Structure 1
Amino acid sequence: MSVNEIKTFAVKQAGFEIVAELHRASQDITILFTGGDVPHYGVATVVSANQVLQSYRFASRPGHHHEEYVLTERLGKIIQPALQGNGVIIAGVHVNDITSEQMQATFKMTDELGQQIKKWLLTHPVAKPHETFAK
């Protein structure tokens, strides 16, 4: 996979879809994780093979922050063992008037997408690039 290629994963359940677009730059990845009625970017989570996940939550409305970190951190923990470098997961999944069934489906969908991404990363490793630095 070159720097400009994108690998797309998608799953549909409970009347809505979540899409994960994986972008790779050398051994690093970015995943855009969006879906529902109002896809957006509300949370960013950073992950690497040997560090604790960290999330940043944007404000969603006065007094509230986006909650997708529960999905991004779940996804990050699934893919973490397959990472060769750094990862950034940017997410926003909003289902209007979400039901309890749909809420539970988001966790199952995240797990399914995480397993698909992990499998793909393990079967499509990238050689470590040759880097030189200024002296």
Structure 2
Amino acid sequence: MTGGDVPHLGGVVSFDFKSKKISKTFFESHDGRKHKDIFLAEQFAEKIKDHLNGNLCVTAGVHIDGITEKQIDASFVMVDELAQAVLN
């Protein structure tokens, strides 16, 4: 997943089909904070993992300067829609 003003790799969520384990890797931004776009990747993985017959790796990097709470909420709705499209 990517989007916004500054494309980047903010985090990775992986799902091991055999062990059913989800792993998350947060990458630090240039100012040392951890990227929060991984929460989008995590939601996406959760939505589709039970429908897979193999492993999954989701990368995320979404950045919008001055993002509002409303835009953040909308991004989670978009992730749900994307997951449903993938499942279809």
TM over 0.5: yes
State yes or no: 1:113 paired with 2:82: yes
4+ residue segments displaced more than 3 Å? none
Which among 65, 71, 90 is matched to residue 40 of structure 2? Answer: 71
1:1-135 paired onto structure 2 within 5 Å: 33-50=1-18, 51-119=20-88
Higher RCO, 1 or 2 (CA under 8 Å, sep at least 6)?
2
AA aligned opposite 1:36:
G
**Displacement of 1:61 after TM fit?**
2.9
Q: Whose strand fraction is larger, Structure 1's or Structure 2's?
A: 1
Greater shift in the superposed pair: 49-58 or 97-106? 49-58
RMSD of aligned Cα (Å): 1.3
For residues 76-127 of structure 1, give each alpha carbon's deviation from its aligned partner in whole angstroms, at most 9, with x where no partner exists.
Answer: 01111221211100110001110111111111011110111122xxxxxxxx
Alpha-carbon distance in 2 for matches of 1:100, 1:118: 28
Greater CA radius of gyration, 1 or 2? 1
**Displacement of 1:62 after TM fit?**
3.6
Identity of aligned residues (%): 37
TM-score under structure 2 length normalisation = 0.88
Question: Structure 2: where are the runs of 5+ without partners?
Answer: none
Q: Whose helix fraction is larger, Structure 1's or Structure 2's?
A: 2
Question: Structure 1: where are the runs of 5+ without partners?
Answer: 1-32, 120-135
